[in-house]
Chain A
Amino acid sequence: MILRLTWRNLWRNRRRSFITMTSVTFAVLLAVLMQSFQKGVFDYLVNNVVGFYYGYLQVHRQGYWEEQVVDNSFTQQDSVYNTIKRLPGVKEVIPRLETFILAASGNNSKGCMLAGTDPEKENRLSGIAQKITSGSLPGKNEKAVLLAEGFAKRLKVNAGDTLILFGQGYHGSTAAGKFPIRGIVHFGSPQLNEGLVFLPLEQAMELLGAENQLTSYALVIDDPSRLSAIQASVRKITPENFEVMNWKELMPDIANHIKADGASFYIFTGILYLIIAFGIFGTILMMTAERRYEFGMLTAIGMKKSRLGLILFLESLFITLIGVLAGLLASLPPVIYFNRHPLVLKGEMARIYEQFGFEAIFPTAVDPGIFITQSIIVLVIAFITGLYPVWHISRLDPYNAMKR
């Protein structure tokens, strides 16, 4: 009886129920889209900088990150490498020798980050081979470089040209060498795209006079959500004079940006939820006021207040539930569409984003957690606002309620 009455009462004032459901639908749609875009953009950003180069964790000699010079490198030890690689959750360990160096071609010279690395392992980290826009990946020990696309443009060079690298090597030695450009690669992160040069590890050691030296192990992990646990277990097995840093510590700017943007997102969605809450509450308030006489009559003829309260509570819950379901259904197509076809800003707007270190590409994240979270939040709002009629009924005096 309770469900029958609740369901029929929902459709007593079809227009009002429809307006309330629609407002809940739009609110859920908006909240899901907002959170999907926010998460999608940040996942994309993290994936570009973390997945394509930095790795979720890095192991260095203590103090390297503070002063990134070859002199702060460490001697490659198979035992450390193998122990880290065997840890559960660690998918790949990429040894690197990195330093800042001057790159020149013709009359142009620019500073860049030289990354001496194993091209095959690097490919396993990021699928870099698929990002090559011209040329190919250098062989494991080939004396050739792979240039980031933006950097190649700045130097006005192409695959097949020659690049001169010049700088300071290990313990004050001079590093100088001439390398053919094997390929050009595109990085999603503007920061990487504007200044990264890959050189096979053996060649980098030779160039910098740093035989068997490494500056870092970059770690690829299975599950980013277990980052802290994996970081802790890596820290446990590495020698004391090593530092183990996660991507948030390596790139605090990005981590802070995500945090700050997350805060503004919560404020914005908070306002949205407030609007939803007032929308639902307004309907409930009207419904309660309009049917006051009827409530009085129902208690007069013998309906318990608890039953009556339950009916009203369920009415507001059902209205919201229908709105939430419709909102979820309505949000699925755009979320999936923008995940597969991200919004791409061009021109001046894109340039502004790139200045802040972002690629102006906005995909959505198709994460069931977002749909579930938004539904639960709106249902909790409905639950709280739905308590008002229950409270109202508990204080109802049939005699006063039936006064016209």
Chain B
Amino acid sequence: MKKTVIDAHNLTRIYDEKTIPVYALNGVHLHIEEGEFTAIKGPSGSGKTTLLNMIGGLDSPTGGWVEINGTNITGLKGGALIDFRLHNIGFVFQSYNLIPVLTAWENIEFILLLQKRPATERRKRVNELLAQVGLNDKARKRPAELSGGQQQRVAVARALAPKPQFILADEPTANLDSVSASNLLDIMDKLNKEENITFIFSTHDQRVIDRARRVITLEDGKIVADTAPASIVHETTGEK
């Protein structure tokens, strides 16, 4: 049996609760297992980013809870939550968000420094990750000297650096041309298949949806479709 990485129960997020309440998420149940390659799709305003923020511990739900690898992150606050994210969740953002004053190599090393890993381990891991994303020759380049696709590959390597439980990628291909997007998806696909790394995307991009092995569709803050294996759907929706 596969290990459960994310278990979200009855997630609700209401904005402007006191005036005109807007349900960004409305009672979402989600169960994600190790090694999944999942895309969350839906129209703008459907709640994709809100769901990702909840899973990533960046936003707190109005109701419900999120468990990651058995830890209820809804109850974590401040430094403990930041620390939890550092060790358990990898983030890939739409606009890459690399630190502009650091080189590609240093951007990846940065996370390991935050984790206080020894220098030899850092060096080995960064070189390994750069090789995996095919950017060994760009190690000393700063983000401004890299193309969008290359920056996003560095961002993926950075997200992988701390060996997180899963990677959350918010519209990772939105700013990329088709070749760069395809290369990035190849890399992520390979990492998922060969190293069993769990990826969760929020996306509009059909190229990502086509590659995903599970597609969750959100509308008005609710899951309206989920192509997950039957066992997972039953578990998350409570169906028998």
Contacts and interface: CB of A to CB of B under 8 A. Distances in A.
Interface of A: 1, 4-5, 8-9, 11-12, 293-294, 297-307, 398-399, 402
B103 to A, nearest CB: 10
A1 B158 contact: no
A402 B111 CA distance: 19
A402 B101 CA distance: 19
B42 interface: no
A301 B111 contact: yes
Interface in B51-107: 53, 56, 58-59, 78-79, 82-83, 85-87, 91, 93, 97, 99-102, 106
A304 B82 contact: yes
A1 B113 CA distance: 8
Interface residues of B, number: 27
B101 A300 contact: no
B114 interface: yes
A8 B102 contact: yes
A305 B83 CA distance: 11
Contacts of A300: 56, 58, 85, 91
B85 to A, nearest CB: 5
Interface of B: 53, 56, 58-59, 78-79, 82-83, 85-87, 91, 93, 97, 99-102, 106, 110-111, 113-115, 158-159, 162
Contacts of B91: 297, 300-301
A305 B79 contact: yes
Contacts of B113: 1
Contact of B58 (A5, A304, A402): A402
Max chain B C-beta neighbours (<10 A), residue from A297, A302, A305: A302
Contact of A399 (B59, B87, B111, B115): B59
11 contacts: A1-B113, A5-B99, A8-B102, A297-B93, A298-B99, A300-B58, A301-B85, A301-B158, A304-B83, A307-B114, A399-B53
Given A4-B106, A297-B91, A302-B111, 7 more contacts: A5-B102, A293-B97, A297-B93, A300-B91, A302-B114, A307-B114, A399-B58
Contacts of B78: 305
B158 to A, nearest CB: 7
